[in-house]
Chain A
Amino acid sequence: MGIDSKSGTPGVVTTNLEKLANWSRTNSLWPMGFGLACCAIEMMAAQASNYDMSRFGMELMRSSPRQSDLMIVAGRVSQKMAPVLRNLYDQMPDPKWVIAMGDCAACGGVFNNYAVVQGVDEIVPVDVYISGCPPRPEGLINGVLLLYEKIRKEKFAQWK
């Protein structure tokens, strides 16, 4: 982006449309914190004052799917919860991204049995996987920053 200072009116920025759109999408990504189990506690700790997530634009967890663009699946997804998860994902408007937080959301975690869905990517398409049981709040923040980099690289042709 170049600041056009020759014209004498500061505040004119030249860029290309993709970069502008991507930048505006990342800077205030509103998560729908889908806190299911233990990872939800670490997500709340990441939201609190020690590891503040509002520095990255995520001031509040919007609990309504219609008003959020990021779904952080934090915790194990049981067979009874799986259709509810898909329903909520479908209710989110485009553009939307999914972060699978923790081992249980990424791959089923410690629980390899009849009751837990082995990885939330069997139900929704996942953009970033964060490992840990539960991942430290810094781990969650690292995952969020990885997502920002991914969004910044998106191109027009990929938008649906």
Chain B
Amino acid sequence: MNDLLKPAVEKLQKKYKAQVNEFKDEVTVFIPAEKNTEAATLLRDEFSFDMLPVVTAVDYCPQSPRFHMVYIFYSTKDKVYLTMRASLDGDTPSIKTMEGVYPSANWREREVWDLFGITFEGHSDPRRLLMPPNWQGHPLRKDYPLGYEEVQYSFNFDEIDLRKPKGER
């Protein structure tokens, strides 16, 4: 582990009894989901983590807990990254918003709501970001299909052609 990260990681470990994982010189800290804004405020104020480049989620579908919220913090002074994960369960999980601590999380959380369906409590603008506003479903979940279109070869050309929508003048 980078020495500059040690004080922050040890403080988080002590305060939240967090589990720390080290993989190929990256450090991941597992925080309980309710404490995400507290931990972020701690990192921003006491240790110099002034940027939050990554706010995203991972879906481990059949397993439980189903979602992991991933936050990656960056310090421009020490030039180190710190990953924080919070696990969420169920089909419509919710977690507190990071917007108050880092304003840049606003659109990133909208994107996570759009693509994964995780609600953020207290978010100022909970609308879809990338999909059309009345789209049903959350595309990046593992149980959402890819939407793959069958390829038209010469043997099935005509039957697919009948089904395909065609634009007219």
Contacts and interface: CB of A to CB of B under 8 A. Distances in A.
Q: When A and B assemble into the complex, do they touch directly, with CB atoms less than 8 Å apart?
A: yes
A31 to B, nearest CB: 19
B149 to A, nearest CB: 5
B148 A86 contact: no
A113 B131 contact: no
Contact of A125 (B144, B151, B168): B168
Contacts of B169: 125, 160
Majority secondary structure of chain A interface residues (helix, strand, loop or mixed): loop
Interface string B126-169: 00000110010001000011111101000000000000111111
Interface stretch (A7-15, A32-40, A116-124): A116-124
A122 B132 contact: no
B167 A125 contact: yes
Interface residues of B, number: 17
Contact of A113 (B148, B165, B168): B148
A156 interface: no
A120 B165 CA distance: 10
A122 B166 contact: yes
Contacts, number: 39
A124 B167 contact: yes
Interface residues of A, number: 17
A108 interface: yes
Contacts of A125: 166-169
Contacts of B167: 86, 120-126
Nearest to B132: A80
B148 A112 contact: yes
A114 B168 contact: no
A119 to B, nearest CB: 8
Interface of A: 79-80, 86, 108, 112-115, 118, 120-126, 160
Interface of B: 131-132, 135, 139, 144-149, 151, 164-169
Given A79-B135, A113-B148, 19 more contacts: A79-B131, A108-B149, A112-B146, A112-B149, A112-B151, A113-B146, A113-B147, A114-B139, A114-B145, A121-B166, A122-B165, A122-B166, A122-B167, A123-B167, A124-B167, A125-B166, A125-B167, A125-B168, A125-B169
8 contacts: A80-B131, A112-B151, A114-B146, A115-B147, A121-B167, A124-B167, A125-B167, A125-B169
